[in-house]
């Protein structure tokens, strides 16, 4: 059985409306959320899921977002060291999607392969969106430096998958096309506490998005998003969003209908 450890690799001030379908919420203003990666241990090798952001400045200037920060203790290197691992020890990294706060640390990992959906890399390289947005810019939260790293210096270590794949016994990548992003994938991990779902940003608040079946604010297709949430709920015993303070502090989010 595997163990999943949240790694806090940054903090971000973002709009509360990101949590709610079409921003239809009375909650306004900014909220502070963690930026999480996840370490999977217990198998033949440690596996990393997501890598945090490249640097806080790009989040604020390129993507026009609120204050972002990373302390020395929140560096990917420091977070792995808490589990007696170095950056060089990670041989497999799964990227749930390629937004700036999930794929910004890929160049820090000298020995890792990077498991990403082909549709996600294609969308990140040439995002289809408005030319000018007050938030996100025309790149739709994909950072071109991260994309450039994957398609050039790291290209030989990029493992492009199409659809669902079991990467190790008890660890599955499942594609949810056109949900949060065109190629978002969920990593399902079998643990002694049940099946843990590492959902990226397909879920932001479990009680709202899973319990009440109200999608988060950013998605590509409503029906695809609704089906993704229903499937995640059916498969998972524990759901770990990438920006949930409860996951950062307790390692717990959703344990079934009793949480609703």
Kindly state the DSSP code that residue 206 receives in the 8-state scheme: I
**What kind of fold does domain 3-259 have according to CATH?**
Metallo-beta-lactamase; Chain A (3.60.15)
Distance between CA atoms of residues 64 and 230, nearest Å: 32
Report the range out of 104-113, 133-142, 245-254 with the highest average pLDDT. Answer: 104-113
CA proximity to 41, closest of 93, 5, 94, 72: 5
Q: Is the pLDDT of residue 251 over 70?
A: no
Q: How large is the average pLDDT for residues 29-33?
A: 91
pLDDT one-digit tens code per residue, 213-233: 999 999 999 999 999 999 999
Cα 173 to chain centroid, rounded: 13
Lowest mean pLDDT among 103-112, 181-190, 232-241, 249-258: 249-258
Q: Find the largest Cα–Cα distance for the chain.
A: 47
- The residue-averaged pLDDT of 226-252 equals 91
Average pLDDT, integer, range 68-77: 97
Q: Cα dihedral sign for 72, 76, 79, 80? A: negative
- HSE toward the beta carbon, residue 46, CA cutoff 13 A: 18
pTM of the entire predicted model:
0.95
Query: Within a 10 A sphere around the Cβ of 28, how many other Cβ atoms?
Result: 9
Q: Is the pLDDT of residue 257 over 60?
A: no
Structural domain spans, the chain: 3-259
> Within 13 Å and on the Cβ side, how many CA atoms surround 7?
29
pLDDT band at 255; cut points 50, 70, 90: low
Range name among 75-79, 125-129, 176-180 with the lowest pLDDT average: 125-129
Residue range 135-181, pLDDT digits in tens: 777 889 999 999 999 999 999 999 999 999 999 999 999 999 999 99
Instruction: Tell me what pLDDT residue 17 has.
Output: 86
Q: Are 175 and 136 in contact (CB under 8 A)?
A: no
| Rounded-to-integer distance, Cα 155 and Cα 93, Å | 14
For residues 237-256, give the mean pLDDT.
81
Tell me the C-alpha distance between 12 and 55, whole Å: 11
User: Is it the case that residue 254 has pLDDT exceeding 60?
Assistant: no
For the chain, the average pLDDT equals 93
pLDDT for 260 equals 46
Report pLDDT digits (tens) over 4-16: 999 999 999 998 8
Higher pLDDT, 106 or 31: 106
Share of the chain above pLDDT 90, in %: 81
């Amino acid at each position: 059985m595997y163990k999943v450890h949240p790694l806090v690799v940054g903090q971000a001030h973002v709009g509360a409306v990101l949590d709610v379908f079409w921003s239809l919420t009375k909650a306004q203003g900014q909220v502070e959320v963690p930026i999480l990666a996840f370490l999977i241990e217990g198998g033949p090798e440690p596996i990393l899921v997501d890598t945090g952001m490249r640097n806080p400045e790009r989040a604020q200037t390129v993507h026009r977002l609120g204050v972002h920060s990373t302390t020395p203790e929140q560096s990917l290197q420091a977070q792995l060291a808490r589990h007696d691992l170095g950056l060089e020890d990670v041989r497999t990294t799964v990227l749930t999607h390629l937004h700036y706060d999930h794929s910004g640390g890929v160049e820090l990992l000298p020995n890792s392969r990077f498991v990403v959906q082909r549709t996600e890399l294609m969308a990140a390289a040439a995002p289809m969106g408005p030319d000018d947005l007050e938030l996100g810019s025309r790149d739709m939260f994909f950072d071109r430096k991260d994309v450039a790293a994957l398609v050039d210096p790291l290209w030989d270590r990029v493992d492009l998958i199409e659809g669902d794949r079991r990467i190790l016994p008890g660890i599955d990548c499942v594609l949810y096309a056109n949900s949060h992003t065109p190629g978002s994938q969920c990593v399902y991990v079998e643990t002694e506490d049940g099946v843990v779902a590492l959902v990226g940003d397909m879920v932001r608040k479990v009680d709202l998005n899973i319990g009440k079946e109200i999608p988060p604010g950013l998605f590509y297709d409503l029906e695809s998003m609704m089906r993704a949430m229903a499937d995640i709920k059916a498969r998972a015993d524990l759901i770990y969003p990438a920006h949930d303070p409860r996951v950062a502090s307790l390692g717990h989010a959703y344990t079934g209908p009793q949480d609703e």
